[in-house]
Structure 1
Amino acid sequence: MTPSPQQACEKVAGSHGKAAGLSIIRTSPFCEPRVQPIASTPVAEVLAALNAQMEEVDAVIARRLSSDVALINQISAYIIHAGGKRMRPKLVLMFANALGADSPASRELAAVVEFIHTATLLHDDVVDESELRRGKQTANAMFGNAASVLVGDFLYSRAFQMMVSVNRMRVLEVLADATNVIAEGEVLQLMNMHDPDVAVDSYLRVIRYKTAKLFEASARLGAVLADAPQPLEDACAGYGRALGTAFQLIDDALDYEGSSESLGKNVGDDLREGKPTLPLLIAMERGTEQERALIRHAIEHGEVERLKDIVEIVRRTGALDATRDAARAEIEHAKECLSQLPLNKWRESLLEFAAQSVERSS
């Protein structure tokens, strides 16, 4: 018997595999390295089609970034040309294709979610006082806080202009809700800063709001373009929400096991900003009294002088493995949500997309 979307989203399955037979190339100044198929398989065919569609999204981005205000053009181009994984726009395209709704509107909405994401990055970096992102100086470090905030506002407003052009009320509902929830997530995270007593549930709530919500909206938009019934739309959203949660969990783990070169940001930034992420929360729960005191002090004061000691505690207590396990469990949720989609090569590629998202080092 076919499970309901709710059952599909709640069930946690077993193992997942890695994609094989892929190599990396660069095909656009707007995007990060693309995945190039080296064998003719259904997944390889999808990747080739997705790369071509992302080129069209890049063209929309370039056109829609245009402004009569020179500084807006300069800062917008700086951050968008810096690259990135482009996961959110890819979700819009992949779900639209999986449900037979490939259209110019999907390119427009893919650009919309990238603009919203970029706006949140501009604002985030100001709030966090970050100086490095994707291996480059942040926009606020280059152009100042005021300019970064105002250009972020421009990108938000331009995104809403683009939403209106699609002429679908449901699109507006989805994205208006998403931007509101993301803003709430930003405030929730601010409230949690420098607080070592944050509960895991509160930490996860921030992730669901601040990061996963736009993944959820991106996947949902593909279903909206296909005029999918509500249960199917919700299943698509469930995939996006779980994928976004897993993505952030891995990011939080990498802050204690990556390098500045691979991460494109300074190692220990989360600790420096006083963010009590899951690796730290687990390490405090499992560590000795002395180790707990060290981590608590570091979170409260944003101190990284003993970062090496804290990294060792996080590793020794198994906190990194536990965080990755939590991410893998989310990916299994995401895969189960796909059971509601029609069987085709795009659905298979969404399975691979989810699996790859947790097996990364940057």
Structure 2
Amino acid sequence: MATSSFFYPVQQELRSLEHNLKAVAGTRHPILYAAAKHLFEAGGKRFRPALIFLVAKATAEDQEINTGQRRLAEITEIIHTASLVHDDIIDECKTRRGVITVHNVFTTKIAVLAGDFLFAQSSWYLANIGNLAVVKAMSKVITDFAEGEIRQGLVHFDPSVSIDAYIEKSFYKTASLIAAGCRGAAMLNGASNQTNNNLYLYGKHMGLAFQVMDDVLDVTGSTKSLGKPAGSDLSNGNLTSPVLFALTRETELNYLIQREFCSDMDISKALFLIKRSGGLTKAQDLAKEQVQAALYCLHFLPRSTSVSSLRELTHFIITRLS
């Protein structure tokens, strides 16, 4: 099922967001402009800003989205996109969403500068949002990204890494931004501390479920559906939940990881072992647990079309194919 059906209550806001994101690239330097434009034209589901719009409506008495929340949605997508540029450089990815990555279209130096430029733009927009608590919450996300990247880099090709360490890293790299964005949207409506905290937890559990399913798709997906080769994370030494669960059943997988997939057929063999082990099922169960926790956090909100979309999105996460 397409995400657009869940985003129906905020379709108009998402269309405006697309226009505004391209305006972000309007730097006076033509190379930075081209790099940023290349990123935003690659598209994406705009899952993060859509969540912010839905939370904004769900916590507003008049179901309206204010200017600060519109800007927060843009900031969230800019931060996310900037992090992808740097991730692609670190992981040496050739494609992203089926499009050649920035550092391959231009150069690594230009890609680093483009990512830095976007982080700087997000900080400028954030400083003008007019709510210090939201500024503090969102600013921490950028440090969380760096923390997550370092944690991931320290355990490349390390089969002894625990599921708890994987979840903690996934929070820093993915869930932190979604959690802060959901809380920020509620805060900009003057919601209570309890509401703000519940929506933070909703975003956190949604982000973790999203990341776990992303890791499942890295094993089960195709190059066409993923926009990058299957097993890309694995070949870079990023041991995700399906891999960690599989390691308890497949001793040969441990051997392939420790030799860092040096043979041409190692990745294909590792993917086969992960599928055979039942690791995918355990990872999906982990995602379902996170989804149930996210749903629980919505119980306090009054019924509305926006809340219904927030609930439906949790189910989409664990059934999505790409």
TM over 0.5: yes
User: Corresponding residue for 1:5?
Assistant: none
Deviation at 1:233, TM superposition (A): 0.5
Deviation at 1:56, TM superposition (A): 1.4
Deviations 1:142-168 (CA, angstroms, capped at 9, x unpaired)? 111110011111101111111122211
The alignment status of 1:343 with 2:303, answered yes or no, reads yes
Question: Which structure 2 segments of 5+ residues have no match?
Answer: none
User: Corresponding residue for 1:40?
Assistant: none
The alignment status of 1:358 with 2:299, answered yes or no, reads no
- Taking structure 1 as the reference length, the TM-score comes to 0.84
User: Corresponding residue for 1:10?
Assistant: none
Maintained 8 Å contact 2:9/2:305 = no
User: Corresponding residue for 1:152?
Assistant: 115
User: SS at 1:286's partner residue?
Assistant: coil
Aligned Cα root-mean-square deviation (Å):
1.6
Deviation at 1:102, TM superposition (A): 1.2
Q: What percentage of aligned pairs have identical amino acids?
A: 31
Deviation at 1:305, TM superposition (A): 2.3
Maintained 8 Å contact 1:271/1:304 = no
Deviations 1:279-307 (CA, angstroms, capped at 9, x unpaired)? 111111122x3x24434335x45666222
User: SS at 2:321's partner residue?
Assistant: coil
Query: What is the rounded CA distance, in whole Å, between the counterparts of 1:123 and 1:268 in structure 2?
Result: 19
Deviation at 1:225, TM superposition (A): 1.0
User: SS at 1:183's partner residue?
Assistant: helix
User: Corresponding residue for 1:272?
Assistant: 235
- Taking structure 2 as the reference length, the TM-score comes to 0.95
The alignment status of 1:297 with 2:266, answered yes or no, reads no
After TM superposition, the structure 1 stretch with the greater mean CA deviation from structure 2, 330-339 or 268-277, is 268-277
User: Corresponding residue for 2:21?
Assistant: 61
Query: What is the rounded CA distance, in whole Å, between the counterparts of 1:172 and 1:197 in structure 2?
Result: 37
User: Corresponding residue for 2:224?
Assistant: 261
Q: Which amino acid letter does the alignment assign opposite residue 161 of structure 2?
A: V
Query: What is the rounded CA distance, in whole Å, between the counterparts of 1:79 and 1:95 in structure 2?
Result: 26
The alignment status of 1:250 with 2:250, answered yes or no, reads no
Query: What is the rounded CA distance, in whole Å, between the counterparts of 1:228 and 1:152 in structure 2?
Result: 33
Query: What is the rounded CA distance, in whole Å, between the counterparts of 2:262 and 2:87 in structure 1?
Result: 17
Residue among 58, 71, 86 paired with 1:123: 86
Maintained 8 Å contact 2:256/2:266 = no
Maintained 8 Å contact 1:272/1:303 = no
User: Corresponding residue for 2:175?
Assistant: 212
Deviation at 1:333, TM superposition (A): 0.5
Deviation at 1:230, TM superposition (A): 1.3
Change (3 A) 1:302 1:169: farther
Deviation at 1:253, TM superposition (A): 0.9
After TM superposition, the structure 1 stretch with the greater mean CA deviation from structure 2, 122-131 or 56-65, is 56-65
